[in-house]
Amino acid sequence: MAPPAPLPPAPGPAPVPLEQSKNDVIEATAARLAQMGISKGVPIMTKNAAPGTRGKPVKLMTNVHGLELQKDTIFYAYSVNTYCNITPTKTAVFTKKGKDDYIVLNRHEKCVVIYNAVLAQFDDFFRSKEENVLYYDGQSLLFSLIDLFPGINGKKSRVFEIAGKATAHDDLNGIEVIFMEVYVAERSGRQDGKVILSRENLCQRTADPNLEVNDRSLTQFLEIALNQNCILDTEHHAVFEHGKSYLRKPWEHSFTARDCPEVGDGKRLMVGVKKSVGFIEGPAGRHNNNPALFVDAKKAAFHESINCMEKVQNILNRKQTEKFDNTDIETCTAVMKGITVSSHYTGRKRDHVVQTLTNKTSRTACFDVDGEKIFLIDYFKSKYNINLRCPDAPLLVCKERGALNYYPLELCEVQPMQRVTIPQTTPFQSQKTTKECAIPPLVRQENIEKGLIATKITDPENRFMQAIGLKVYPPLAVNGRQLPGATLGYANNKFAAEAGKWRTRDVKYVDGANCNCWAMYAILDSSRRNQNFDQNKLSKFAQMFYKDARARGINLETPAEVKMIAQSDAKSVMEYGVKNGCQFFFFVTADSITNFHGQMKLFERQLEVVTQDMKLSVALKVVDEGKRLTLENVLNKTNIKLGGTNYIVSSDSINPEHLILGIGLSHPPPAAAFEEDTGKIVPTVVGYASNCYNANSYIGDHIFFSAKRQETLAAMEEIVTTIMGAYMQRAQKPPKALIIYRSGVSEGSYALILQNEIPLIKGTLEKVNAPATKLIFIVVSKEHSVRIFNQRIDPRARATDQNIPSGIVVDTELVHPSYKEFYLNSHTTLQGSALTPRYTILFDDHNSPMDKIEDLTYALTHHHQIVNLATSVPTPLYAANENAKRGRDILTARGIDPNENNLNLNQLTEELAFKNTKIGKVRRNA
C-alpha cells in the first residue's frame, strides 16, 4: 500500500492573535474547505435507527418530568433596558450582563425591584393586575400574554420613569430617576413579537433533524415560565446561568445543617436545583415528541457572608490579629482573590473586589491627604471616629478607578451567595466538597422533590403555569436493558466481566514490555511522616516491583540505581541516566509534594524518556502491608507505558479494520483564557487517542490551540491526517470505518460540527487516499441533567448498590425525538449518584444499528488496562481526556513568559507534544 498523498498545507496560525472569535475560526475553516474543494455541510442530524434489543430488559426511573400544554397560548416577546443617569455623560445599565456572581445577583435583584415598581405604577399599560400575566427573566427579556402595543404600526417602544425611592431598595433610594424601556424584540419575521405556543408548534418546531428550522424561543419561554417564582423571589432564591438556582434560606424548605455543611475557610455548601426544558420521545417511543422538564439536585460551595477578619482567621485556622508572615498572606490571597466585599463606614454601602492582601497594616500603610502623609489607623480615627481593633492585621487591596486602595479587614464583609471558584479552592476542600456533594440516589431523589416544592413548580396554585395551561407530570419511568460484559483475554487465562468488574489472579500480560535499563528514586520532604521510609524500604519496594513485573511477563532488568534524591536534583539525575541508556524512571514522592508530577512530565517530554510516579503512602502500603492489588495496578500501568499490552478485549462488536479515535479538551479557567493585565494567552489543549499504532492500545498526544477558538476545527485535520497515516502504514490499507468519540461539545454546536467539522474530516479522508472509509461521529456528554435510577432503591444499601449497575443502556423514551442517541452507564458508581453519559451520533454514513454502536461503546469501556473496572466513557475518549490534561500539566510546568504575547501555538505544540519523539508511539499517559 502506498503511503497517503500529502495534503496541501493547512493555513497554520503563526502568531495567534490575542482576540479571535468563533466567526474567525468558521471563516478560516470555510476557506480551508474551499481550498480542498469541499462544500460546506448541511446541519441535518443522521437518520435515527430502531432501538436496540440486546441485553436483559430492566425498568428504570428518571428525574425527567413530562410537560403537557393543556391549551394553546399566544405570547408576545419584548426586550427590556433598565438604566439610570449617574452624570450627564455616565449611565448605569442594570440589564447589562455580568460574569461575577455578586454582580449578576446584584443586578438581577435591582432589575426585579425596578420591574415590580414599574408594574405597580403603570398597570394601565401592563394590565397585570387583571387580564394579563407577564414573564420576566430578571434582566432583558419580557413576555406578555397580551399585545402591549395594540394598533401601533410604527416603532413599538415605551420608556417608563420612576423615582428611585419607589423601589424601596437601599441602593436605589437616592437615585432621582430610573428608566425602564420596553420594546418589541427583534425577531425574524415577527414585527409585533407574537409567538404561538401550541402543542402543534412544540411538536413541529422543536425537534426537527434539520437543526436550522428549530425554534428555541418556545423552549426559552417555557424555561422562564417554570423559573418565574425563583426569578421574582430574590429573598429566597439565587438564580444563576443554565437554569441553576440555589436556596438562600434552605432551612425554610426542609433542608438541614447536615445538607449544608461547612467546608473550611469560611465556605459552606448550599443546595439548589438545575432545571431545563428539553424534548424526548416519551412513553410512546419512536416518532413521538414530548416536552419535558429535567430537574437535578445541586450542591455548590459558597463563601459565607462574614466579616473579612473572621474569614482570614478561618482560612488560617487560628484566631490571629497580628504577626502575619508572607505565607499567611499568600494563603489568604489565594482564597479571597476575586470575591466582592462591602464596607459601610462612610455611611453608605460600598462594594470592593479583592485583588490581593498585603503585609502592610493600618499602622504602616499611609497615603497623602492635603499634601500630608497619614497612616490608615489615624485616618479612620480622625475621619470616621473609628478605633481599629486589629491595626496589625494585613489589609485588603482593591483596584478602583485605576488606583489600588487599602481596606482594613475588620471593616469589610463578604457579600452573600458567591460561589467558590476553582482557584479559591484548596485540595483538601476540593476533596471534602466532592465527598459532601456525592449524595446517594435515594437522597438525591428526595432533594429533587424538595427543590421542586421550593420553586413552586409542583404548586397547583402556580399562576404562571396556570395561565398557559402547563402541567408537570411525575418522574418518567423508562425501559432499559443491561448489556452483557466483555471477555478479557490474558496470556494464560480469560475472564468474563460481570457488571463492569472482573477478578484476576496470577495473570501474565498478553504482551510484556521490554526494558533493559531503569532506575527508581524517592523524593521526600522533612516531615515526620517520612521517618518510616528509608533506603532499605525503597530497595525492598524496588525488589518487589521488578520481581512482580517479571512474574507478569514484563522483561524488566534489575534497576540500575535505587536512591533517595532531592527534588531539585531530579532533572540532572534523569539527564545523566538518559545519557547512559536509561529507558524508564520511577519516582516515589512524599504526599506533601504536590508540584513534582508536572515537572516530571515536562522532563519526560524534554528528555524523551518514560516516567512514572506514586505517592509515598501508597508505596508504604505495598511494603508494610503487603497490598499486592495496589502493586498489581501500578504494574499494569508500567507495562502499558513501556509499550506492552495487558489484555485483549473480546467482543463481536470490535472490528480490527475499524480505526477508533477519541478527542477531548482541556480548557483554561475562564479568567486565564485571556489575562488582560499581562496580555498573556493560555491555550486550550486538544487531546486525542486512537488505535492507529496498535489495534489493542489507545495511544495519542496533545495539541495547543487558542482558547478563543470554540471548537477543534483546525486541530481535526491534523489529527485525522496523523492517525490515518499511522494506521495505513501498519495495516497497509485504509480502515473500513473511522469512529470518533468526541467530548466538549454542547448541543448548540451540533450544527457547527455538521457544517464544518464533518466535511473537513471527509475531505481529509479523501486526501489521504481513503475515500471509501465510512465515518461515525459520536458526541459524548456528561454535561446534562438526566439521572437514571433503579426502580426500587433500598435505603439501607450502600451507594454502589443503590445505583444502576454497569451495562445499563437506554435508547428510547428518554432520548431526543430526532437524534440517534442513547444513554450508557458503563461504570460502577462507588459514591454519590451515577451520572450516565449521553451518546449522540451526529453523523453515520455506515448506517449502524443501535445494538452495534452500543455494544462497541460498552466493549471499549473495558479497554482501560489499569484497573479491573470498566470506565465511564470509552477508553479512546478516556485516554484523549487524560492526554489533554497531561498537555495542560506540562504547559503549567513549563510556564508562559509574560513577554510571549504573540505566542506561536504551532511551535508550542512542536516543543511540548510527543508526536515526533522516541516515546511518541507508546501510551505514556496510562
Instruction: Report the number of secondary-structure helices (H) and strands (E) in the chain.
Output: 24, 42
Percent of the chain with pLDDT over 90: 75
> For position 691, what pLDDT does the model report?
97
Q: Is the pLDDT reported for residue 46 higher than 80?
A: yes
Distance CA 729, CA 725 (A): 6
The mean pLDDT of 31-48, rounded to a whole number, is 90
Q: Is the pLDDT reported for residue 535 higher than 80?
A: yes
HEC readout, 456-513: CCCCCCCHHHHCCCEEEEEEEEEEEEECCCCEEECCCCEEECECCECCCCCCCCCECC
Question: What integer best gives the mean pLDDT of the chain?
Answer: 90
The mean pLDDT of 541-562, rounded to a whole number, is 96
Asked whether 522 and 533 are in contact (CB, 8 A), the reply is: yes
- What's the fold here for domain 308-415? paz domain (2.170.260)
> For position 136, what pLDDT does the model report?
98
Domain ranges of the chain: 68-296+441-471, 308-415, 512-641
The mean pLDDT of 175-184, rounded to a whole number, is 95
Asked whether 905 and 694 are in contact (CB, 8 A), the reply is: no
> For position 19, what pLDDT does the model report?
38
pLDDT band at 99 (very low <50, low <70, confident <90, very high): confident
> For position 320, what pLDDT does the model report?
77
> For position 708, what pLDDT does the model report?
60
Q: Is the pLDDT reported for residue 47 higher than 80?
A: yes
Q: How far apart are the first and last CA of the chain?
A: 32
Residues 6+ apart with CB under 8 A from 515: 554, 555, 556, 557, 583, 584, 642
Residue 599 backbone dihedrals phi, psi, to 5 degrees: -60, -45
> For position 205, what pLDDT does the model report?
80
Element (H, E) at 84: strand 73-87
The mean pLDDT of 521-540, rounded to a whole number, is 83
Q: Is the pLDDT reported for residue 10 higher than 50?
A: no
pLDDT in tens, 866-888: 999 999 999 999 999 999 999 99
Q: Is the pLDDT reported for residue 525 higher than 50?
A: yes
- Which tops the pLDDT comparison, 278 or 370? 278
Question: Domain 512-641 is in which class?
Answer: alpha beta
Q: Apex CA 606: angle with CA 604 and CA 609, to 5°?
A: 40
- The count of other CB atoms within 10 Å of the CB of residue 203 is 16
> For position 821, what pLDDT does the model report?
98
pLDDT in tens, 142-152: 999 999 999 87
Percent of the chain with pLDDT over 70: 93
Asked whether 135 and 175 are in contact (CB, 8 A), the reply is: no
- Name the burial class of residue 853, with classes exposed (0-12), middle (13-18) and buried (19+) by CB atoms within 10 angstroms of its CB: buried
Sign for the pseudo-dihedral over CA of 902, 907, 908, 909: positive
DSSP label of 6: P
DSSP codes joined into one string, 519-551: EEEEE--SSGGGGG--HHHHHHHHHHHHHHHHH
pLDDT band at 439 (very low <50, low <70, confident <90, very high): very high
The mean pLDDT of 484-491, rounded to a whole number, is 94
Distance CA 299, CA 268 (A): 10
> For position 2, what pLDDT does the model report?
36
Of 323-332, 378-387, 661-670, 799-808, the least confident: 661-670
Of 167-171, 429-433, 613-617, the least confident: 429-433
pLDDT in tens, 103-122: 999 999 999 999 999 999 99
pLDDT band at 669 (very low <50, low <70, confident <90, very high): low
Please state, in angstroms and as integers, the Cα–Cα distance from residue 837 to each residue in 741, 786, 806, 857, 885, following that order: 12, 9, 12, 11, 20
Instruction: Show the cell assigned to 444.
Output: 438525591
The C-alpha cell 430574590 sits at: 234
Beta-carbon-side half-sphere exposure of residue 270 (alpha carbons within 13 Å): 25
Please state, in angstroms and as integers, the Cα–Cα distance from residue 68 to each residue in 111, 202, 293, following that order: 31, 10, 10
